[in-house]
Structure 1
């Protein structure tokens, strides 16, 4: 009888925009398919989104990091330093909450997507990240070392990318200095590509922490006022209901659930978005043409955007430089491509089975 009880896995994505939450969706589905019982833990919009995606699963709200971006990119690193005491306090609160959750919810294993305090020495714990190297300008060596010290507290590190030069994250996911097993599990996406008639000439897909999400939204609404084609604008504001408004050639949504977003992306010729890694994985899976505007001052997004432009996959520019005419350059780029990698989830989840 004991063997028939499903093992309960705490899945805890960071609330930093929607990317960490959405890339956990295929993993949650895989856990369900492999007879585990996922328990979701997060906060903010990431928490709300996963509650909508998995209304039947147990969900637990974690202490919030409450991290915000600087309004100007050059102050990004300074803002992060100012947030450090708040972050340390939140991680300590997270550790206490995790201990209680493990006992109260009978948790058998942990999958933390960049939540630094969600781990325990008592049960198998996995840390998921594509950033084994954390770019921060001239302090990259320090930020990388600090991040790897945290990762070493876990039993395994899962990297949502493939190995090799043609990977999506470039040098971000390469390291030989971690003392725990590193498993490359392939790019994760909740979406599937299918053939359909194109409905939108351009889709704008926004996400990410404030105030930069709003700053880009307002800038794009103004700049795209002269856009001639059919435009879909998804703001990335998770509210109780998904609402649509139509104004001339533009249809806008506050947010879309997975099914609706998958359909809209497949129906769009070009996607304009941040160069957040989860968005890049999604667009690669759907083999889309894209235009990237990295979050100002966020070294990781700036690196990914520049790399994809240099490789001839997608054009990009700084936030304050974007002009609607730049979208025409998408024709000169190949678009993103999916990597041929199939994740063996049964084997991957052996850690949680004690194998």
Structure 2
């Protein structure tokens, strides 16, 4: 239940009745969002008596290993993408597309070798289109079966969507972390899509905070923030956004904490007299900061949006430049009245907006 009293369809019960089965869970390694939304699924699997093995690479695997240190893990490398200041340009796009198509086939072969080694009954992958096999029950988690492409690639969209549905058709099930219908968060990213021979389930929102209690942080180490900025995503945009936030937040009369989204390290830095940088925290500690903050600033990734809706928090969303999916999601959230959205290029005028939103957040907290 969101803080505004609206029923947002949060998943409340286990959606996988496979108690006693061996389950391999593998998220995409683009930022932390795909791994973060696998966390509640892993908890459900463990509660139902499953043996869970986590797979992946990079920061997403690091996050899951820190969250579930007792679980076995296997290395399954993911594809890498770097998004520059203007997003992915046309030559770069087709070069990456060629690589990605080859990688999906390579990823499939890797899974077959992993199955030889660990023999999972079920494979749950988040946006890993090559992780299907006839030797296991394979489930694909995705929030966009109809992805959006930049305007200059509009003509290419039908081909790309057919290819995605072709890959998706190799799985036994597709899980969409959303509710069906016109009020869904993902909107046109999934409306009216079907995949022949594949069960499609709308499983409700997934948030790693659903079943957690906050863990208080020592205020001597990290102060309770007025503004909490949560950043993640591919480089170099992640680092550019962090530097921009430090400059803008240091000019405001509020305590600000920037969560850098780098779980491979663990440190606290003071970037200005009122701005703290945290490399990473546990989910319970992040929940504490998000619950206490008057305002949250975040990218427009879908996993972040689900977290904010589950917690019922006010937020300013800044879509990653060059990611049409985030631009659409942010626009839809503003249209639905959930969050305020602003382009990164308009951040020079952010001081008045953040001051106003921070005051609104304080006022709503006082009324609760």
Residue of 112, 119, 124 corresponding to 1:111? 124
1:170 aligns with 2:187: yes
Deviates more, 1:174-183 or 1:24-33: 174-183
More displaced stretch, 81-90 vs 202-211:
81-90
Deviations 1:59-84 (A, max 9, x none): 111123122113313x4554332212
Equivalent of residue 299 in structure 1, options 301, 324, 337: 324
Unpaired segments ≥5 residues, structure 1: 335-355
| Paired positions, count | 329
Deviations 1:133-191 (A, max 9, x none): 11114133333222111111101100000112222212212223321111000000011
Shift, 1:109, TM fit: 1.1
Give the TM-score normalised by structure 1. Answer: 0.87
Q: Which moved more, 1:138-147 or 1:116-125?
A: 138-147
Kindly state the Cα deviation for residue 90 of structure 1 after the two structures are TM-superposed. Answer: 2.6
- How far did 1:332 drift? 10
Which residue does the alignment assign to 1:188? 206
**CA offsets per residue over residues 202-239 of structure 1, 9 Å max, x none?**
10000001111111111111122201111111111222
Matched, 1:266 2:291: yes
2:33 is equivalent to residue 22 of structure 1:
no
Q: Name the CA shift for 1:62/1:196 in 2 (closer, same or farther; >3 Å).
A: closer
Q: 1:99 aligns with which of 102, 108, 112?
A: 112
* Alignment check: 8 A CA contact 1:76 1:298 kept: no
| Residue matched to 2:173 | 156
Q: Which residues in structure 2 correspond to 1:1-355 (within 5 Å)?
A: 6-73=20-87, 75-76=88-89, 78-136=91-149, 137=151, 138=154, 139-179=156-196, 180-192=198-210, 199-240=224-265, 242-246=266-270, 247-322=272-347, 323-330=350-357
Aligned-pair Cα RMSD in Å = 2.4
- What SS class does the counterpart of residue 340 from structure 2 fall into? coil
State the alpha-carbon separation in 1 of the partners of residues 187 and 359 from structure 2: 22
Distance (whole Å) between structure 2 residues aligned to residue 65 and residue 195 of structure 1: 34
Question: 4+ runs of 1 displaced by more than 6 Å?
Answer: 193-198, 331-334
